[in-house]
Structure 1
């Protein structure tokens, strides 16, 4: 089924103006031609798009669904045009990166800056997602590269170790745990916890560990962003488990203290993943080599020996 852009734009204009006449004028079409386009489209799709009323038209549910896709199509076309135009300005590629909040807060920014400086003709876009969302985005082609914490949830990815990380505990300055250097997760379960939104890898990990201890997680508040977590902890609304690097920065800015989380699972690994393929695109290859040089060197040596 072929749908032309003129007819789709006409549907959008009619939906916005609630009038075939005004929609036709907006799209510079004769009224008769516009009416025929709508009728042909309805016949092709097998649905009614508009209910004719005495003072115009009312979009049907089928029309509203179509309009959502038309707007999405417009956004994609705009992105397509912007990206292609960039090649005329000297841009040689576009690297779409998806990463979880921890990687963005701990280690990714300086590496992105160094890569961008070394490859100034490659445009970089970065999206903040949960580790599970990152893996899905890469596997489905919505991102070229993903940075996330283990475990690997999608076997369609090729993965390299990127950086090590450690979880720490943020508490208010005046708290029952204040003065301690470290704390066990079991001890934390006696207090309200401030955490990231559902789906965040650290949050899921804590739920699993609480279940193993036969306890429940008192997740009092869930927010997006480590800085929001730090401010809530400072206000005395709970304690928080988050990557130690940003937690240490917050301990210098807010009235909070950083404790060591005395658990083996507090040690985490960030992974860099791409969609499994025989040969990586040049832009992706350069990025992986820049962030995981040792792993790529070992792979090349294995290839030579084979």
Structure 2
């Protein structure tokens, strides 16, 4: 059975707009032509993709399944086009990388710099996202590789452990906790906290930990970026939890004290993710191999396996 991209993209447009009329406009089709294309496709597949309602259409389970495949197909076509165009420009490839802020700040720069030195003609696009957004971007084909903190939320991903990081606490100099070498999370709940924006993995995890203890997370300020957190803490507006490497770095710039976070979850694991596929594109596999080089030296494999 052969499909044409115009009909498939029409299905995607209907699913995203909830309206055949708006989808036809988006795809620059007459309404009658769009309706016929949809009817013909449903007849060929032998299923109903959308239930017609008085105020639009409602996608069926069969329609949702088709939309998932259409998005995957469009992602593959985009990757194909991007790679061919890059070759035409004299480059050897374009890698789309998504990572959460902690990974970018704590452990990604050195291996990323090493890869770009070894492959100067490969262009890398890096986006800073929450761990959930990283996984969605890879699953939907918007990123080739993702680096994030579990839990794994997308079943379409193949993942593997990469590196471990440690969380630490920063408090203003002169704070009641400043002379303590370490602190339990529960002690922090007595103070205002400065945290990352909603959706950040560490922020959501702290909220869960506070709830388990029957406490409220007193997040006084939520911002984008560790530097903003460090400056606000240094100004006496609260305490915060940051990756230990980042905390030590900012303690050299601002009037802060770094404390060890005495919790088993203070050590966490970064994971690498790609879409499940039989064979990774050469460029993606090369990048995965470069990230896993220290692990391979220790006897680990760089092969990504699907998450159970």
Q: When the two structures are superposed, what TM-score results if normalisation uses the length of structure 2? A: 0.71
Question: Compared with structure 1, are the counterparts of its residues 233 and 102 closer, same or farther at alpha carbon in structure 2 (3 Å cutoff)?
Answer: same
Distance (Å, rounded) in 2 between the aligned partners of 1:288 and 1:252? 33
How far does the alpha carbon of each residue in 1:157-178 deviate from its partner, in whole angstroms, 9 at most, with x for none?
A: 1111111101100100121111
How many Å apart are 1:88 and its aligned residue? Answer: 2.5
Q: Which residue of 2 aligns with 1:173?
A: 173
Aligned counterpart, 1:153 = 153
Corresponding residue for residue 192 of structure 1: 192
Q: Superposed, which structure 2 residues align to 1:90-169 within 5 Å?
A: 90-169=90-169
4+ aligned runs moved over 6 Å, structure 1 = 79-83
Equivalence for 2:228: 228
Distance 1:234 1:94, change over 3 A: same
Work out the CA distance in 1 between the residues paired with 2:281 and 2:173: 50
CA RMSD in angstroms comes to 2.7
What are the superposed Cα offsets for residues 90-117 of structure 1, whole Å, 9 maximum, x if unpaired? 2111100000000010111111110011
1:290 offset after TM fit, Å?
Answer: 0.7
Unaligned stretches of 5+ residues in structure 1: 4-38, 47-78
Query: Does the 8 Å contact 2:289/2:302 carry over to 1?
Result: no
1:177-212 superposed Cα distances (whole Å, 9 cap, x missing partner):
111111000100000000000000000110111111
Larger radius of gyration: 1
> Cα distance, 1:151 vs. partner?
1.4
8 Å CA contact 1:160–1:292 kept in 2: the answer is no
Q: SS state of the match for residue 137, structure 1?
A: helix
What SS does the aligned partner of 2:252 have? helix
What do the CA deviations read for 1:53-109 (whole angstroms, capped 9, x no partner)? xxxxxxxxxxxxxxxxxxxxxxxxxx9988754323321111000000000101111
- Pair 1:123–1:183, CA change in 2 (3 A): same
8 Å contact from structure 1 (residues 169, 241) kept in 2: yes
CA distance in 2 between partners of 1:105 and 1:271 (Å): 15
Determine if contact 2:101/2:128 at 8 Å carries over to the other structure: yes
> Equivalent residue of 1:253, what SS?
coil
CA distance in 1, matches of 2:160, 2:296: 7
Separation of aligned partners in 2, 1:191 and 1:300: 43
SS at 2:209 equivalent? helix
Describe the shift of the 1:156–1:181 C-alpha distance in structure 2 as closer, same or farther (beyond 3 A): same
1:219 maps to: 219
**How far apart are the structure 2 equivalents of 1:80 and 1:160?**
25
* Distance (Å, rounded) in 2 between the aligned partners of 1:40 and 1:136: 30
Which secondary structure does the structure 2 equivalent of 1:154 belong to? coil
Contact 2:288–2:302, Cα closer than 8 Å, also in 1: no
Alignment partner, residue 285 of structure 1? 285
Residue in 2 that maps onto 1:16: none
TM-score w.r.t. length of structure 1 = 0.71
Distance 2:254 2:178 in 1: 15
Corresponding residue SS for 2:187: helix
Contact between 1:96 and 1:143, CA under 8 Å: does it hold in 2? yes
Question: In structure 2, do the counterparts of structure 1 residues 2 and 273 end up closer, same or farther at CA, with 3 Å as the change threshold?
Answer: closer
Contact 1:170–1:257, Cα closer than 8 Å, also in 2? yes
| Matched positions, count | 237
